[in-house]
Chains A and B, each alone.
Chain A
Amino acid sequence: MKSLRTLAVAAAGLFAVSGSAHAATEITFWHAMGGQLGETVNTIAKEFNASQSDVVLTPVYKGSYEETMTAGIAAFRAGEAPNIIQIFDAGAATIINAKGAVKPVAGLLNEFGTKFNAEDYIAGVRYFYADKDGQMIGMPFNSSTPVLYYNKAALAKAGVEAPKTWEEFEVAAPKLKAAGYVPLSQSHTPWILSENFHSRHNLQMANDENGFDGVATEIMYDNPNMVMMFTKLKSWMDDGLYGYYGTKWNDNQKPFIDEEVAMWLGSSGSFGGLKASAKFDFGTTYLPYWKSVISEGQRTFIGGAALFAMSGKTDAEYKATAEFFAYLTKPETQYFWHRETGYVPITEAAYELAKSDGYYDANPDAEVGIQQLSLDGGEWTKGYRLGYYVQIREVLQREYDKIFSGATSVPDAFKAIKEDSDKLLERFAKTVK
């Protein structure tokens, strides 16, 4: 009996303690950042929680991008969605087109935090997750962009410079081959040589303003410039000037690390990993473009993911979410994220801070991504919003595999890409009301 009373007293004490501490609003943040990246997210969350006493943020790692998205959707349908969810580029159309599923970031900040100003964000990330009027729907979080890495010793041995254009590549490649290297490989054909090919050359990708103005139903990948690019790639491969190692990221990166391949197209975010694994001095430069298509290469798209505020929450929780977004976009937080992960800082202020801190004097390669994202942009460099894009990328990979194995011709492959992608877009359009 006595022990029971002690227990009751202890429980009452516990409630009293937790009651006072729980004046703070608790919010959850589901993300897909594993390993070292996840540690960095945890650090940011911890420091955010320590910086104020109104909000307690709990980050939860949910697996890959796809797993996080599926888990978030299941939770949303069950009425138990997290406050913040990280959604990757190819999945953005699904969540943005589901009217009412998310609270747009611009509106959230205007209502519950500081006034949203698109100009605060660097040009390349500003529009990618925004609506057609430039109002941000998702907050860009981990943003990277494709860049060219080159083995300095290999290029010196062949007596060539890193190519700025594909025309320059055509001159340099045979010399690199003669020096005993496969001149080039790349790790994500849909992202680097398809989506960003359009951005770099300011070409339209899909109807309805690349899907920003309505729901796109027609893909424009089957344009003469793409056919030209892939005809070149195939002939380069046949001549030993281009190495295609399938669809997996690492399978294409590894030959570069092993010094079998002289240049590699990867992500600006690959920088840290490369530095740890490559035993040679490498340089970084912009994604090459065709001078014959455009006189000056334009800025590229971002890849990676954005944070979305799920709807159906209380005002207190929205306010807490807005507070976290404000913390996340602070120059110090962005600079920390940029340094730790290699992803680009998303605000101008953070970029200025990194510059004034002398970060790029010591690490010039780390600046290439953000410089490329700050290049001049045109009508088609804002981004794209295409439904069932995960499946469309799968279609692209499939047809590119067939091109490089010789199973199909380049024009036939693009014909199939056009047909299959349009079918997918049409199906997706039916799910949007």
Chain B
Amino acid sequence: MKRQQFQHPYLPYLLVAPQLAIILVFFVWPAAQAVYQSFRLEDPLMGIGEFVWFDNYASVFDDRQYAVSFVFTIIFSTLVAFFSMAIALLLAVKADGILHGESAYKVLLTWVYAVAPAVAGIIGTFLFTRNIGPLYNLLVSTGWTFNPQVNVFDASFTVILVSVWKQVSVNFIYFLAGLQGIPVAVREAAKIDCKSELRRFWTITLPLLAPTGFFVLVINVTYAFFDTFGVIDTMTRGAPAGGTSTLVYKVYQDGFLGLDLGGSSAQSVILMILVLVLTAVQFRFLERKIQY
């Protein structure tokens, strides 16, 4: 067999160059800057400072608030990813089975996708406003002494609820598309073989939906880590007691608001490593179990 070869060996490099340039300029260079900055302690204006090796990392791990933020981020991300995926899957399965007026359901379930996280946060703020917000009043009427301004649990509840609500629609779109991609022949064969709808879901639908589910999981973890920033900034700003400050929000507070460039760079490098590890774990251990 004859191997196909380009006549000019540098043509392929030329063709991928624009893509590489984008990656270098927008991803590699800023990440390298963050790593460099994380080893320095300097004043933000004159840039006078010193190389401090791992001092910034040491003070991050020495910061009691960082531990709080870390634990909150893990709990928050797990809950947001789990609930937004579970609810979306349920809605997608139900919407998939609808015969009449299905597009109306689809439109109604997807349009929240168009809402920006910050706007979702502002809507959430209105809904939970003391004495006026409908959801505030609803929760208080159940006998819950609901006080998100002071109580960390209550405040976490509000940001998780809004973050889940915001993400359900995106997940719904993917799950619905995934469901519709399952061949009709397979479904019908399953229907003949098995009467129980629930059993059919667990044994046929879910495994066939796994590739979609895996992809959705990866984007949901990223969403919970990074894109919920807008929700938190507009709703709680990390309060009360720093209890709703995610790791990303803390990077913003220390770096952008507080101008501690070294400290916040160290935090973002840690965050970068954390997300890399998380994604690697997902690909390594989960993806193996999935049949495409």
Binding site for B on A (CB under 8 A): 66, 69-70, 73, 76-77, 91, 94-95, 97-101, 244-248, 251, 254, 258, 388, 390-391, 394-395, 397-399, 401-402, 404-405, 407, 416, 420, 423, 427, 430-433
Q: Are A401 and B150 in contact (CB under 8 A)?
A: yes
- Name the contact of A73 in the complex, choosing from B44, B48, B52, B65 (C-beta under 8 A): B44
A391-B254, A394-B253, A398-B241 known; A245+B130 contact, CB < 8 A: yes
B contact residues, range? 35 or more
A70 touches B59 (CB 8 A): no
Q: Is B49 an interface residue (CB 8 A)?
A: yes
B11 interface hit (Cβ, 8 Å): no
User: Could you tell me if A246 and B256 are in contact, using CB atoms closer than 8 angstroms?
Assistant: no
Evaluate contact between B45 and A73: CB separation under 8 angstroms: yes
Distance in Å: Cβ of A131 to nearest Cβ of chain B: 17
Query: Closest CB-CB distance, A228 to chain B, in whole Å?
Result: 22
Partner pick for B50 among A69, A73, A247, A430, CB 8 A cutoff: A430
Determine the chain A residues whose CB is within 8 A of the CB of B131 once the complex forms: 258
User: Chain B contacts of A245 at CB under 8 A?
Assistant: 130, 149-150
> Are B50 and A405 within 8 A (Cβ)?
no
Please determine whether A70 and B256 come into contact, CB atoms closer than 8 angstroms: yes
B147 to nearest A CB, angstroms? 8
Q: Does A94 lie within 8 Å of B149, measured CB to CB?
A: no
CA gap between A416 and B257 in the complex, in Å: 21
Given contact pairs A98-B43, A405-B150, A405-B151, A390 touches B258 in the complex (Cβ within 8 A): yes
Report the tally of A-B residue pairs with Cβ distances under 8 A.
Answer: 107
A244 to B41, CA, bound (A): 37
Decide: A423 near B62, CB < 8 A? Known: A98-B44, A101-B46, A433-B48: yes
Counting from the closest, the 9 A-B pairs by CB-CB distance are: A246-B149, A98-B45, A401-B241, A401-B240, A101-B45, A431-B43, A398-B242, A391-B258, A390-B258
Complex Cα gap A248–B259 (Å): 22
Q: How far in angstroms is the closest Cβ of chain A from B23?
A: 24
SS of A interface (majority): helix
A258 to chain B: closest residue by CB? B131
Which secondary structure characterizes the binding site on chain B?
loop
Instruction: Give the chain B neighbours of A244 by CB distance below 8 A.
Output: 150
- Beyond A70-B256, A76-B45, A98-B44, list 18 extra A-B contacts (CB 8 Å): A77-B47, A97-B43, A98-B46, A98-B48, A99-B46, A99-B48, A101-B45, A246-B239, A246-B240, A247-B237, A254-B130, A258-B131, A388-B258, A394-B242, A401-B150, A405-B151, A420-B65, A431-B49
Contact among A95, A100, A401, A431 with B239 in the assembled complex (CB-CB below 8 Å) = A401
Closest to B239 in A: A247
User: How many angstroms from the CA of A69 to the CA of B242 in the assembled complex?
Assistant: 23
Residue of B nearest to A430 (CB): B41
User: In the assembled complex, which residues on chain B have CB atoms less than 8 Å from the CB atom of A431?
Assistant: 41-43, 48-49
Give Cα A39–Cα B65 distance, bound, in whole angstroms.
Answer: 40
* Neighbour of B241 across the interface among A97, A101, A405, CB < 8 A: A405
Q: Are B59 and A423 in contact (CB under 8 A)?
A: yes
Against A, the Cβ 8 Å flags (1 = close, 0 = not) of B137-161 are 0000000000011111000000000
Residues of B within 8 A of A432 (CB): 43
B259 contacts A69, CB within 8 Å? yes
Selected contact of A405 from candidates B49, B240, B257, CB within 8 Å:
B240
Least distance between A249 CB and chain B CB atoms (Å):
11
